[in-house]
Amino acid sequence: MLADPFSDILSLTKAEAIVTGGFTAGGPWSIAFPGRDKIKFFAVVKGGCWVTLEGEAEPIRFEEGDIGLLARKRSFVLSSDPALQPIDAMSIFTGTGRRLMTLGDGNDFAHIGGHVALDPLRGGLLSDILPTWIHTRAASPQAAIFRWLLDRLIEERDIGQPGAALASAQLTQLLFIEILRSHLSAADRMPAGWLRALAEPRIAPALRLMHGEPSRPWHLEELAGACAMSRTSFAVHFKSVSGVAPLAYLTEWRMRLAERTLRETRTPIASVARSLGYTSESAFSNAFKRVNGRSPSAYRVAVNGVFEEQN
């Protein structure tokens, strides 16, 4: 199987989408949700509503099958009418022990919501690059996939078959991936960064090579050749979409892998260096400090208090 840089980064950040609840509503209703330091998402599975997002001048209309993802700490209001005075979501959901609430007769509208848990140290690699707000409409090219996933999530929640919790977790994770895929389809409107780079087919072969064998001493000519581009054209185009030069991207990716190994294992630093293609521990340490601002041993102590053993 070809290397998959997108999956690599989701794995590195430990991105895990979790459905936390939902509600149904009928008649006039309006609920205010506080801002959270988490990536939030919600989907309209029946009816429609208005979304009033902190910092936005006008309410946004959501129809059945639409999905919203909020990557910044912003409060928002869901309502049948933006003119209504909202009630505090915490007064409805906190302490009830229920994951599904009903407002009014519950016949007009249905919603499910959740958040994306991220690694506290490396999660910024994903959250910092996402836009504040992603609105994926039911009429998008992924509409059929979204509809199927939402239908299955509701079925797993309501019927309660054996394995429902695990099935729901897997479906929610796939829903999050599809939201990001939908966002990637508009890559030409994104700022330069790794997310835009992943969506650029012209440099995809080079990214797959670097992620597939990060320890290999890749040369610019090899990477450009894989993309059927001249060295100069490849270097210019790669930097225009990713924000960094190709070999700088490779170094940064190696350091992200090194951080994970240093944080999660007691592997000696010399072994970490060799696994990432460095011929000496000092060369690796210098590269790590340039990117991270600390030496590998200082980083390891700072993140988990594990002191480097004698090599």
Query: Which pLDDT does position 308 carry in this prediction?
Result: 42
Please report how the helices 204-212 and 5-12 are oriented relative to each other, as an axis angle in degrees rounded to 10. 50
Mean pLDDT in residue range 237-256: 94
* Amino acid at the residue 200: E
Residue reference for tokens 């790794």: 194
d(Cα 210, Cα 207) in Å, to the nearest integer? 5
What is the tens place of the pLDDT at every residue in 94-145? 665 556 788 888 899 999 998 999 888 888 888 888 888 889 888 887 778 8
Query: Do β-strands 109-117 and 16-25 pair in parallel, antiparallel, or remain unpaired?
Result: antiparallel
CB 114 within 8 A of CB 19: yes
* Amino acid at the residue 231: R
What is the tens place of the pLDDT at every residue in 197-210? 888 899 999 999 99
For residue 45 the two structure tokens come to 């599975």
Q: What structural domains does the chain harbor?
A: 5-185 (2.60.120.280), 196-304 (1.10.10.60)
Identify the top-confidence range among 14-28, 71-85, 138-152. Answer: 71-85
One DSSP character per residue, the chain reads ----HHHHHHHHTT-EEEEEEEEEE-SS-EEEE---SSEEEEEEEES-EEEEETT-SS-EEE-TT-EEEE-SS--EEEES-TTSPPEEHHHHHTT---SEEEETTS-SEEEEEEEEE--TTTTHHHHTTS-SEEEE-TTSTTHHHHHHHHHHHHHHHHH--TTHHHHHHHHHHHHHHHHHHHHHTTGGGSPSSHHHHHT-TTTHHHHHHHHH-TTS---HHHHHHHTT--HHHHHHHHHHHHSS-HHHHHHHHHHHHHHHHHHH----HHHHHHHTT-SSHHHHHHHHHHHHSS-HHHHHHHHH-PPPPP-
Residue reference for tokens 């229920």: 98
Residue reference for tokens 């950040």: 13
Residue 266 has pLDDT above 50, yes or no: yes
d(Cα 35, Cα 213) in Å, to the nearest integer? 40
Tell me the residue length of the chain. 311
For residue 196 the two structure tokens come to 């835009």
Mean pLDDT in residue range 269-276: 96
Give the model's confidence band at 156: pLDDT under 50 very low, under 70 low, under 90 confident, else very high: confident
Query: Which pLDDT does position 310 carry in this prediction?
Result: 35
Residue reference for tokens 């490849």: 234
Residue 305 has pLDDT above 70, yes or no: no
Neighbours of 244 (CB within 10 A): 16
Please indicate whether residue 161 or residue 47 has the higher confidence score (pLDDT). 47
d(Cα 67, Cα 71) in Å, to the nearest integer? 13
